[in-house]
């Protein structure tokens, strides 16, 4: 967690970021729905869309439920909890704040590099070493600037040379950070080899971590030929992060990565991309809006890394549960974010994991 002296300011900052995300989402929906107002024929639109409303009208205000999912033990949650705390700490604005936060996390934590966001193309991240566990951590900050919002909104997919496609805004930011980050990580591994490398991030930060790994921008993580001093294990932890992959996934660069994606309650952010929205699609079709329909299909084509685990954090005290494959689409659908606490749940990951990792939690 952030240093106690800056806790109030930090919480106000996160509330502001969440509010900005909600406003951006509302504007995006309004832009898609604009042709409805312009058509001045809402009765015809309602009539033609009626057949597609059933799924949306049944969206429950109750929280998602995971049936039969295995509950993670406190021992299994130690690394994810540390990753969540580091992801939160990545929002700090100054190096001394990061160092103070690391000191609170334990005597074995050491800051290797803090890289603040320097321009509109880059991202903010930190690298820290946990001497006790032999882990080198890379934590990306989530949305906290106008440049980050621009990256969030660049939702057209972009294909890499390997044939995989990613959210273009995430890919742009990951590429901008890759060179410096690669040099820092590889230099640290040469001097002090470690057993494992772990990448993590909250919200946009988690999407950047997955994009960096999926696009093969960190050779020591993907096991590419020529990568020196590669760690034996590569981990990735994301918290309330949007889907970053698009279309058919080959995922060759992810073959060594063990990934866990955490979703707390009704958090809307991990559900914004990759969900079919029949109401908006029906509106676009009824008005002949092929471009709007295409945009919806593009957004619906995003996916979280299918080779990773999805873990649901239950706000009602049900702990942390692995989501069975058959239930992933249901748990991640946007309709599950139709809840009054959807925005508040986006900032509850540290607290939720602390409660789930506590004895009897």
Return the number of other C-beta atoms located less than 10 Å from residue 204's C-beta. 28
Stated pTM of the model: 0.81
* CB 270 within 8 Å of CB 304: yes
Return the number of other C-beta atoms located less than 10 Å from residue 155's C-beta. 19
Per-residue pLDDT in tens (0 to 9) along the chain, 361 residues: 444 455 555 555 555 455 555 545 544 444 443 333 433 443 443 344 333 333 433 344 678 888 888 999 999 999 999 999 999 999 999 999 999 999 999 878 999 999 999 888 889 999 999 988 899 999 999 999 999 999 999 999 999 988 899 999 999 999 999 999 999 999 999 999 999 999 999 999 999 999 999 999 999 887 764 556 788 899 999 999 999 999 887 768 898 999 999 999 999 999 999 877 554 444 444 545 555 555 667 888 899 998 999 999 999 888 999 999 999 999 999 888 888 999 999 999 999 999 999 987 7
**What's the order of all strands across the beta sheet hosting 196-202?**
109-115, 125-130, 135-140, 196-202, 233-239, 257-264, 309-314, 319-322
Bridge pairing between strands 233-239 and 196-202? parallel
């Amino acid at each position: 967690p952030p240093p106690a002296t800056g806790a109030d300011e930090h919480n106000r900052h996160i509330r502001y970021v969440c509010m900005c995300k909600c406003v951006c989402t509302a504007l995006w929906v309004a832009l898609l729905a604009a042709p409805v107002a312009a058509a001045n024929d809402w009765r015809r639109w309602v009539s033609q869309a009626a057949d597609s409303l059933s799924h949306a009208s049944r969206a429950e205000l109750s929280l998602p439920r995971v049936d039969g999912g295995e509950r993670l033990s406190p021992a299994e949650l130690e690394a994810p909890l540390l990753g969540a705390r580091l992801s939160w700490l990545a929002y700090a604005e100054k190096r001394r704040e990061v160092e103070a936060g690391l000191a609170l996390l334990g005597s074995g934590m050491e800051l290797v590099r803090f890289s603040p966001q320097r321009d509109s193309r880059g991202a903010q991240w930190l690298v820290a070493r946990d001497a006790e566990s032999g882990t080198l951590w890379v934590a990306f900050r989530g949305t906290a600037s106008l440049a980050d919002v621009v990256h969030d909104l660049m939702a057209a997919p972009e294909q890499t040379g390997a044939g995989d496609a990613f959210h273009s805004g995430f890919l742009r930011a990951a590429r901008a950070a890759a060179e410096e980050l690669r040099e820092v990580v590889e230099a640290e591994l040469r001097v002090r080899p470690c057993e494992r490398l772990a990448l993590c991030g909250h919200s946009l930060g988690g999407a950047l971590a997955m994009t960096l790994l999926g696009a093969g921008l960190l050779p020591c993580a993907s096991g590419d030929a020529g990568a020196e001093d590669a760690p034996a294990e590569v981990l990735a932890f994301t918290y309330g992060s949007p889907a970053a992959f698009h279309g058919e996934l080959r995922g060759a660069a992810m073959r060594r990565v063990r990934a866990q994606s955490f979703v707390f309650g009704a958090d809307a952010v991990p559900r914004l991309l990759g969900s079919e929205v029949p109401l908006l699609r029906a509106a676009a079709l009824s008005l002949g809006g092929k471009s709007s329909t295409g945009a919806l299909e593009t957004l619906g084509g995003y996916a979280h890394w299918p080779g990773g685990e999805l873990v649901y954090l239950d706000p009602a005290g049900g702990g942390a549960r692995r989501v069975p494959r058959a239930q992933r689409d249901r748990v991640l659908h946007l309709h599950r974010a139709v809840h009054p606490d959807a925005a508040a749940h986006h900032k509850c990951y540290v607290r939720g994991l602390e409660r789930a990792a506590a004895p009897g939690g």
